[in-house]
Homo-oligomer: A and B are copies of this chain.
Amino acid sequence: MTISLQSAQIIINTALAKGREMGLKPLSAVVLDGGGHVQAFAREDGAAPGRFAIAHGKAYGAVMLGMAGTAQMARAEAQAYFMAAVNGVYGGQVIPVPGGVLLRNDSGAVIGAVGVTGDTSDNDAIAAMAGIEAAGLIGEI
């Protein structure tokens, strides 16, 4: 099971709308499938040009490790050299902070991840969760 493009676009559009509603800085959001491949992405007007790579890095680490952003950050705080090494084997593509949210199906299997960036990591995660709920999916922050 994977995420349809329609679901991905609901997640992204709702996350960006949530950011505007909360008065956050302009957000960018990506949805990856269960193999870590980009399904859809959008960058709000006014967001910095490099935001794709940050959003992607949050979601990519979540899928590849099967570990959401909060757990990755805890590991990075406890064992910085481990997350640095993980980044080595994944080509430097992992951003281990909140805003990388795992998507699970009803039986708990990982079916993808959402990455949101632009404001604080915690606000990014709130916006991601708004999108995930709008799509009727289960997110793990």
Chain A residues with CB under 8 Å of chain B are 4-5, 8-9, 33-50, 52-54, 56-57, 63-67, 76-77, 79-97, 109-110
Contact = CB atoms under 8 A, between A and B. Distances in A.
A63 B53 CA distance: 13
Contacts of A53: 64, 89-90
Contacts of A90: 50, 53
Contact of A34 (B49, B57, B95): B49
Contacts of A54: 65, 86, 89
Contact of A64 (B50, B89, B96): B50
Chain B CB count within 10 A is highest, among A85, A86, A87, A97, for A85
Given A80-B80, A85-B95, 13 more contacts: A35-B36, A37-B52, A38-B41, A41-B42, A53-B64, A81-B83, A81-B84, A84-B84, A84-B87, A85-B96, A86-B95, A89-B95, A91-B91
A64 B37 CA distance: 10
Contact of A65 (B44, B50, B65): B50
Contacts of A37: 35-36, 43, 49-50, 52
Nearest to A88: B92
Nearest to A39: B43
Given A5-B42, A87-B88, A95 B80 contact: no
